């Protein structure tokens, strides 16, 4: 069943046949059961690694099962189980994610190694033709759309598309070919690519908006083909994010929103979470677009988020991307990159762990021996000690950049074909062939560091409620025999996320300190070093390594996601959370960070609730926020889904940069989502 939290009628624009197809993909195991393990291994007979990879691709397309359903209006399917496992079928090469691809162009041959790489790319193109020809041979007689699909494939992707339908099939073919090879790519700015074709077709009366919507619905439905395969952190996190709207790649004019509106129609009606959508909003975004975004958010699942384009563009241009910044997408999650031109990776770490190292000392022996604890007489001294730990960490990461993105064992030919400059440089994606090679520093736990400093400053240095050593002992003992004191510390003062001047000033100090240290070098050994703030669900990973906190939480409690408030500490509603978040300078944060807000359905019920949600989005943008993820969820329903997963096959929740079906999360991930503060 497709579950909506709010009881209002969703406009039904799509045909019964399209709804029936969506039901097969979303609410049955039929599609998942067609996926198989690759039954071949790549022989080691090739002269070079590039040739070996090209042989691997050839075996994939020659042996991949073809799944052709008569109801489908697009051709091609990624039918190997290695795909959702992020491996290249053939058991030899890994898949690649955290990227968004493009079409590569120029070719210049210089050395034998480069010539071998480029010739191997030509072999990959030959493999794409084989896959296309297999589809053409299998389609006749398969259903009412077979002849149309054969005609499409005889032209695209070999030749430039002439119509919207051809462009969509070409896009799907390239996207699905990457997935077939085990790569997870974001889709990027799909509306910018498709809009000219649609507008031309509409003007020539070759298509109607209703039929274009149906075609896009089939794209969205087929993208759910891996539903139910991936467990643990959820089965919709294949980094296939979509970016909609905003200014065009040249920074000249806003993209026509016709395609974007059709896509939002489809997602509202079918509630498909497999393509998380981020809409670029700016000072020119219409009320109608905000309302369309809010209507999808209304249903829960966190499927649609927003970038404040004006802030993100300034951050990217401040970093040095110049005019390339207008083409920003994300890496398939939410970190901002230059679409189709970037080889991206990031290094997450726990800043709260560094803070606890500064407070106690780094080794277990130092923690247990109070005589070795560092002495501090002010919160400024403690913050200085933490900043020194940050600097040491960043320096160590920078020292490792010489070898980054220089993998001699994975040519990544399929991906390299569609990332700018790989062909021009005759170097693969995995060996710095992309125009921009990026490794971003990402801190988690900064709100928890903020709250720790607030508690220590107030209860130790200002009110002298307890000494620093007494506080440290409580942290080591997990507040044993001191629960009254713990609860008092947790509740007496305002922490980050409550629009409190003192708390937010401390958060800004922490934010600015981290950004300054992590931004100390623009690039190292040819690797760009932007800065972000994230956890991506690593609250689960960090929790066992952390002590109880200075602000009154027990050991093992899941703390702040990304740069959002620590769950349970924000007490004055979502507007206060936004106000606290937006007091920071996101124009200095070159790789971004999200604000996560979870809203109870009762808070946005009916027309008034929809208008309130629109107002919330506008407040975030007006106040200078950078990226906002809103989820609508009810803990009671999530608990029922834990008990009766068979009733909630398509119930989605926002995790971090992706949405996932709740019942495919393991228990720890489910509890993390449930524990987040619900704003009523």
Residue 104 — φ and ψ, nearest 5°?
-90, 155
Do 181 and 282 fall within a single domain? no
Which residues have CB under 8 Å from 96's CB, separation 6+?
182, 183, 184, 412, 415, 429, 430
Question: pLDDT tens-digit profile of 660-677?
Answer: 899 999 999 999 999 999
**Would you state the pLDDT for residue 367?**
85
Whether residue 387 is found in the same domain as residue 515: yes
Longest CA–CA span in the chain (Å) reads 82
CA–CA separation, 75 vs 66, rounded Å? 9
Which stretch of 161-165, 327-331, 468-472, 602-606 has the lowest confidence by average pLDDT? 602-606
| pLDDT value at residue 101 | 78
- Per-residue pLDDT of 362-405, as tens digits, reads 887 888 889 999 999 999 999 999 999 999 999 999 999 999 99
In a domain, 514, yes or no: yes
Euclidean distance between CA atoms 396 and 415, whole angstroms: 30
pLDDT of residue 5: 56
Residue 632, pLDDT above cutoff 70: yes
Beta-strand runs (E) in 291-379: 304-308, 328-330, 336-338, 342-350
Q: How many domains does the chain have?
A: 3
Exposed, middle or buried: residue 250 (CB in 10 Å: 0-12, 13-18, 19+)? exposed
In which domain, by residue range, is 261 found?
A: 223-334+594-680
pLDDT at 91: 75
Q: Which two tokens stand for residue 430?
A: 């995995």
Those residues whose C-beta lies under 8 Å from the C-beta of residue 45, and which sit 6 or more positions away, are none
Q: Strands 678-679, 595-599: parallel, antiparallel or unpaired by DSSP?
A: parallel
Q: How confident is the model at residue 2 (pLDDT cuts 50, 70, 90)?
A: very low
Round to whole Å and give the CA distance between 59 and 136: 18
Buried b (16+ CB within 10 A) or exposed e, 175-202: bbbbbbbbbbbbbbbbbbbbbebbeebe
Q: Are residues 314 and 439 in the same domain?
A: no
Structure confidence at residue 42 (pLDDT): 82
Sequence-distant (6+) residues with CB within 8 A of 89 are: 38, 40, 56, 59, 60, 64, 80, 82, 83, 180, 181, 182
Which two tokens mark 251?
């920074």
If you average pLDDT over residues 420-432, what whole number do you get?
93
pLDDT digits (tens, 9 = 90+) for 573-590: 999 999 999 999 999 999
The confidence score (pLDDT) of residue 6 equals 57
| pLDDT above 70: residue 352 | yes
Q: Does one domain contain both 376 and 329?
A: no
Domain assignment present for residue 569? The answer is no
pLDDT at position 140:
96
- Measure the CA–CA gap between 213 and 222, rounded to whole angstroms: 14
613 shares a domain with 467:
no
The more confident residue out of 568 and 364 is 568
48-99 pLDDT per residue, tens: 889 999 999 999 999 999 999 999 999 999 999 999 998 999 878 889 988 8
User: What percentage of the chain carries pLDDT values higher than 70?
Assistant: 97
363 and 461 together in one domain:
yes
- What is the tens place of the pLDDT at every residue in 203-217? 999 999 999 999 999
Is residue 445 over pLDDT 50? yes
> What is the per-residue pLDDT across 304-319, written as a single tens digit (0 to 9) for each?
999 999 999 999 999 9
Question: Across 481-567, where does the E strand assignment appear?
Answer: 523-524, 527-528, 531-533
Q: Lowest mean pLDDT: which of 245-259, 411-425, 437-451, 613-627?
A: 411-425
Residue 568 has pLDDT above 60, yes or no: yes
- Mean pLDDT for 144-162 is 95
> Does residue 110 have a pLDDT over 80?
no
User: Is 576 within a domain?
Assistant: no
Answer yes or no: is 433 within a domain: yes
Residues 298 and 233 in one domain: yes
Mean pLDDT of the chain: 93
Q: Looking at the structure, do residues 381 and 255 belong to the same domain, yes or no?
A: no
- Which pTM value belongs to this model? 0.94
Residue 613, in any domain of the structure: yes
Residue 103, pLDDT score: 33
629 beta partners = 596
Whether residue 84 is found in the same domain as residue 229: no
Structure confidence at residue 560 as a pLDDT band (50, 70, 90):
very high
The answer as to whether 242 is a domain residue is yes
Do 38 and 178 have their domain in common? yes
> In sequence order, what are the residues at sequence separation of 6 or more whose Cβ sits closer than 8 angstroms to the Cβ of residue 120?
48, 50, 51, 53, 54, 411, 413
Q: Yes or no: say if 527 and 438 are a contact pair by the CB < 8 Å rule.
A: yes
Q: Is residue 55 part of a domain?
A: yes
Q: Which of 137, 161, 188 is the last residue of a domain?
A: 188
pLDDT, one tens digit per residue, over 171-185 is: 999 999 999 999 999
Q: Are 297 and 630 contacting, i.e. CB atoms less than 8 angstroms apart?
A: yes
Are both 357 and 303 inside the same structural domain?
Answer: no
Yes or no: say if 565 and 496 are a contact pair by the CB < 8 Å rule: yes
Find out whether 452 and 507 touch, Cβ atoms under 8 Å.
no
**In a shared domain, residues 291 and 396:** no
218 part of a folded domain: no
Of 60, 68, 210, 57, which is closest to residue 141 (Cα–Cα)? 68
Identify the pLDDT of residue 8. Answer: 58
> What is the spatial distance between Cα 624 and Cα 312, in angstroms, rounded to a whole number?
10
Say whether the peptide bond before residue 38 is cis (omega within 30 degrees of 0): no
Pairwise pLDDT comparison (276 vs 112), residue with the higher score: 276
């Amino acid at each position: 069943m497709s579950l909506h939290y709010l009881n209002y009628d969703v406009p039904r624009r799509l045909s019964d046949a399209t709804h029936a197809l969506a039901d097969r993909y979303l609410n049955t195991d039929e599609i998942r059961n067609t996926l198989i393990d690759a039954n071949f291994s790549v022989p080691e007979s090739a002269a070079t690694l590039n040739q070996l990879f090209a042989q691997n691709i050839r075996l994939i397309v020659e042996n991949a099962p073809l799944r052709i359903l008569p109801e489908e209006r697009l051709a091609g399917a990624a039918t190997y189980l290695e795909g959702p496992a992020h491996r290249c079928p053939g058991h030899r090469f890994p898949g690649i994610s955290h990227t968004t691809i493009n079409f590569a162009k120029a070719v210049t041959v210089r050395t034998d190694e480069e010539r071998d790489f480029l010739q191997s790319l030509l072999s990959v193109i030959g493999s794409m033709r084989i896959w296309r020809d297999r589809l053409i041979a299998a389609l006749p007689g398969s259903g009412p759309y077979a002849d149309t699909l054969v005609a499409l494939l005889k032209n695209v992707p070999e030749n430039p598309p002439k119509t919207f339908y051809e462009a969509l099939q070409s896009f799907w073919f390239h996207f699905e070919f990457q997935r077939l090879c085990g790569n997870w790519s974001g889709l990027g700015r799909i509306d910018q690519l498709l809009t000219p074709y649609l507008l031309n077709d509409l003007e020539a009366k070759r298509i109607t908006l209703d039929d274009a919507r149906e075609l896009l619905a089939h794209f969205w439905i087929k993208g759910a083909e891996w539903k139910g395969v991936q467990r643990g952190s959820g089965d919709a996190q294949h980094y296939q994010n979509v970016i909609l709207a905003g200014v065009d790649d040249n920074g000249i004019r806003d993209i026509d929103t016709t395609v974007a509106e059709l896509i939002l129609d489809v997602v509202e009606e079918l509630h498909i979470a497999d393509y998380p959508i981020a809409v670029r909003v700016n000072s020119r975004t219409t009320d109608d677009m905000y309302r369309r975004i809010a209507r999808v958010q209304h249903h829960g699942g966190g499927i649609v988020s927003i970038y404040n384009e004006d802030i993100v563009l300034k951050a990217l241009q401040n970093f040095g991307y110049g005019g390339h910044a207008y083409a920003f997408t994300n890496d398939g999650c939410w970190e901002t990159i230059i679409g189709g031109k970037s080889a991206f990776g990031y290094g997450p770490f726990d800043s709260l762990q560094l803070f606890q190292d500064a407070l106690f000392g780094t080794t277990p022996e130092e923690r247990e021996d109070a005589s070795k604890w560092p002495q501090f007489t002010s919160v400024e001294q403690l913050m200085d000690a933490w900043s020194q730990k940050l600097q040491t960490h960043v320096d160590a990461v920078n020292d490792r950049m010489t070898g980054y993105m220089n993998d001699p064992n994975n040519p990544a030919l399929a991906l390299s074909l569609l990332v700018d400059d790989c062909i021009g440089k005759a170097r693969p994606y995995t060996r710095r062939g992309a125009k921009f090679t990026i490794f971003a520093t990402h801190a988690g736990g900064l709100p928890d560091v903020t709250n720790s400093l607030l508690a220590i400053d107030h209860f130790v240095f200002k009110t002298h409620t307890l000494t620093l050593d007494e506080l440290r002992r409580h942290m080591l003992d997990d507040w044993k025999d001191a629960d009254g004191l713990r609860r008092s510390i947790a509740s007496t003062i305002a922490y980050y996320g409550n629009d409190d001047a003192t708390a937010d000033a401390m958060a800004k100090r922490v934010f600015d300190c981290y950004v300054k240290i992590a931004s100390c070098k623009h690039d190292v050994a040819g690797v760009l070093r932007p800065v972000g703030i994230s956890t991506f669900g690593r609250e689960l990973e960090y929790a066992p390594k952390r002590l109880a906190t200075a602000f009154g939480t027990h050991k093992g409690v899941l703390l702040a996601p990304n740069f959002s408030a620590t769950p349970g500490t924000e007490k004055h509603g979502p507007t206060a959370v936004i106000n606290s978040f937006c007091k920071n300078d996101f124009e200095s944060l070159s790789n971004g960070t999200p604000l996560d807000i979870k809203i109870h359905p009762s808070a946005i019920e009916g027309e008034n609730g929809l208008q309130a949600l629109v107002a919330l989005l506008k407040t975030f943008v007006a106040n200078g926020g950078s990226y906002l993820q809103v989820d609508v969820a009810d803990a009671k329903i999530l608990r029922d889904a834990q008990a009766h997963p068979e009733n909630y096959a398509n119930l989605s929740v926002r995790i971090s940069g992706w949405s996932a079906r709740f019942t495919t999360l393991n228990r720890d991930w489910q509890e993390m989502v449930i524990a987040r503060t619900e704003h009523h």
